Structure 1
């Protein structure tokens, strides 16, 4: 069985998130998604997510392409998460190209192209500018 693992915050879910998850799932038999905890997101981005960790897990779990979801508490534990979930393949967006190559001793690593012209940060900025 080919188990695909990916990670993300998945805040303000948009079509880019759905497309990369669907493409990741197509590469294996199971898709397992690590959703960044609220604390991890704050440490990475300097802001709290719009949606709570509980809500983001619920939303990602509801997608038919996703088989399992877990909370990613620490960037330093990525290797542990990959081993724990018996990953065959780690899939990340190509904006992270090369940054996860260190895990090639655990599983295959693939970087998929992101959907152009869409990001959570841009969506949040557009919403903030609405009077």
Structure 2
């Protein structure tokens, strides 16, 4: 049984989120979605999510592609792996070849976890949706 992990903020759930979950589901038998906390999202992206953590987790819990939802509190994905073991981690290909992506690959190579990249959905993102909402609100 192959256990997969898709981490993310999953703010303003959109088709890009659905795409990565769909592709991940095709590559594993059990899919875990890791939802980062509001504070962790703030540190990583410089902005708090629009949708609170509890609501983001509830949305994912009702996506039939997902078998398990965990809240990602830890600074390291390896710490998440220690609590919720998985065989493969899925990321958007915007991480491929970046310092963060290379560190992720190096970290998971130490425990035998494969890093798989999927095409990033360019035409939509939470950042673009948020910008549109902010523009329309003014």
TM-score when normalising by structure 2: 0.89
1:101 aligned onto 2:101: no
The alignment's C-alpha RMSD in Å is: 1.2
How far 1:115 sits from its partner (Å)? 1.4
Aligned equivalents of 1:19, 1:79: Cα separation in 2 = 24
Separation of aligned partners in 2, 1:65 and 1:90: 15
**How much has 1:84 moved relative to structure 2?**
2.5
| Aligned counterparts of 1:37 and 1:86: Cα–Cα separation in 2 | 19
Counterpart in the other structure of 1:121: 127
1:18 aligns with: 18
* Count of matched residue pairs: 130
Aligned residue in 2 for 1:38: 38
Q: Deviations over 1:13-44 (max 9, x none)?
A: 00010011011011010100110001101111
Unaligned runs of 5+ in 1: none
3-state DSSP of counterpart to 1:96: coil
Does 2:29 match 1:29? yes
Question: Structure 2: which 5+ runs fail to align?
Answer: none
Deviates more, 1:109-118 or 1:23-32: 109-118
Counterpart-to-counterpart distance in 2, 1:119 and 1:75? 23
Offset of 1:83 from its aligned partner?
3.1
Task: Note if 1:81 corresponds to 2:80.
Answer: yes
TM-score, with structure 1 as normaliser: 0.93
Q: Shift in Å at residue 128 of structure 1?
A: 1.3
